[in-house]
Amino acid sequence: MTHLKEFPLRERKKAQTRLSILDSVIGLLYDKPLANITVEEICDGIQISKGTFFQYFPQKTDVLVLYGLLWNLEAMWLVTKSPTISPGLDAINYIFKDLGKKVEDHPTLWMEIIAVRALQPQKFAQMGSRETDQVNTVERLIRFPKLKGIESIPEGNFRQFFLLNLQAAIEKKELPKKTDIETAYMSLACIFYGVPLMSFDKTPLNCKDAYKDQLGLLWKGLGVR
């Protein structure tokens, strides 16, 4: 197991700065949308310069891409490393349950992520496609200190996560052998993005139950008993 102390102090400080910028943005998003948040506000909260911010993130929306990368790393760890969650439908159901909680806790953050996905799709298309990791080992260890082996999880995107688990579900006979994985993935993607959009104007926000209901309809349609 890799430990933070194995890395030079300079690397640890750089990683912490990048994650602190992310946390600053997440905190500010509780009060207003990303378009109304200035780089000065982000920097003032963690006492860094604007120049430092742009060293790490060329655009404000790049901060949300980092959040998406971290989300996917955690999801992949749960599937491949957690002793209580197995690949297949169990993993997909669990991730949507967890996602529902996250959306309910911070709906503005997720609406901003959905907006970036819609308006700047190339940013998310690049996730997991580069030769070098966009989230380095030090950042992983700082962000997920309790997830043993997080440093070995390959980067990817939520498409790869769902395709992997749909294939696992077929191999475990949880889904029929004839299941069209691409069509099933498209349905999961629509649920992933659609539930927050359609739930956002409701009070109280109840994404957990909405995700559960939509997944139930999908599994029934695919022949899950």
Q: How many C-beta neighbours within 10 Å does residue 136 have?
A: 15
Peptide bond into 33 cis (omega under 30): no
Give me the amino acid identity at 1.
M
The CATH class given to the 61-221 domain equals mainly alpha
Q: Name residues whose C-beta falls within 8 Å of residue 130's C-beta, 6 or more positions apart in sequence.
A: 155
Q: Name residues whose C-beta falls within 8 Å of residue 190's C-beta, 6 or more positions apart in sequence.
A: none
Under 8 Å between Cβ of 188 and 169:
no
Q: Which regions in the chain score pLDDT beneath 50?
A: none
Q: How many C-beta neighbours within 10 Å does residue 109 have?
A: 19
Structure tokens belonging to residue 19 = 């994650």
Looking at residue 76, its pLDDT comes to: 87
Helix, strand, coil share of the chain (percent; to 5): 70, 0, 30
Looking at residue 28, its pLDDT comes to: 97
What DSSP state is assigned to residue 150? G
Q: DSSP readout, 2-29?
A: --GGGS-HHHHHHHHHHHHHHHHHHHHT
- Please give the model's pTM, rounded to 2 decimal places: 0.90
* Sequence ranges of the domains in the chain: 61-221
